[in-house]
Amino acid sequence: MTRIIVALGLLLTLISTSLHAQELSITLELPEIDSSPYHKPYVAVWIETPTRKGVHTLAFWREQSKWFKDLRQWWRKIGRKGSPTYDAVSGATKKPGTYTLHWNGKNNAGNKVATGQYIVHLEAVREEGGREYVRQAISLGHGKDQQYTLQGATELGAITISITQE
């Protein structure tokens, strides 16, 4: 009898965990900019708590390290600490186009983040070009699909943030 109760408890835990499992997807556009010379933008996308504590960097597209600090918001919160946690999501700068990022809801340490409010930050800067920073408050772990649409002004184009049940 004890084994049945333990098995039912485990089953209920698995069911409740899967009901609240969510995936965050961000589709962002880097617009075509008519500029000479044109340099591809450095881009950082990250998640923070409302109290500005860094949770996870989703993307860090860059080239030369001397320009990292030009991503001012990202640099102040995550970059200047020299954290290796963004190495897994870093890559070369991207040409104009549409890109999709996915996040499984785990923090930099690999632990699932708590249910609650978070902020998605997107920052882009180009050498001899412009700078843009946008953010969006989101809610995680509440068991419902959500979608947010943003529009960048210069360095970022259309941005869609989707939270879906897995």
Q: Give the number of C-alpha atoms closer than 13 A to the C-alpha of residue 4, restricted to the C-beta side.
A: 1
Q: What is the pLDDT of residue 15?
A: 41
- Distance CA(102)–CA(163), nearest Å, equals 10
Distances (CA, A) of 4 to 11, 132, 157: 10, 57, 55
Residue 131 CB-half CA count within 13 A: 9
Res 19 pLDDT > 70: no
Report whether pLDDT(1) > 70: no
Residue 20 pLDDT class (50, 70, 90 cuts): low
- Which pLDDT belongs to residue 83? 60
Residue 101 predicted with pLDDT over 50: yes
Share of residues in the chain with pLDDT > 90 (%): 44
Give the tens place of pLDDT for each residue, 23-63. Answer: 999 999 999 999 888 899 999 999 999 998 888 889 988 88
- What is residue 106's three-state secondary structure? strand
| pLDDT confidence band for 86 (50 / 70 / 90) | low
For the chain, give every domain's residue range. Answer: 21-165
- Give the global pTM: 0.81
CATH architecture of 21-165: Sandwich (2.60)
Q: Is the pLDDT of residue 89 over 80?
A: no
Question: Residue 53: CB partners within 8 Å, gap ≥ 6?
Answer: none
pLDDT band at 156 (very low <50, low <70, confident <90, very high): very high
The mean of the pLDDT values for the chain is 82
Q: For residue 26, with 0-12 CB atoms within 10 Å meaning exposed, 13-18 middle and 19 or more buried, which class applies?
A: buried
| Per-residue buried b or exposed e for 37-69, using 16+ beta carbons within 10 Å of the residue's own CB | eeebbbbbbbbbeeeeebbbbbbbbbeeeeebe
Question: What separation in angstroms does the CA of 22 have from each of 94, 96, 104?
Answer: 27, 29, 7
Is-contact 96 30, C-beta < 8 A?
A: yes
Q: What is the pLDDT of residue 137?
A: 97
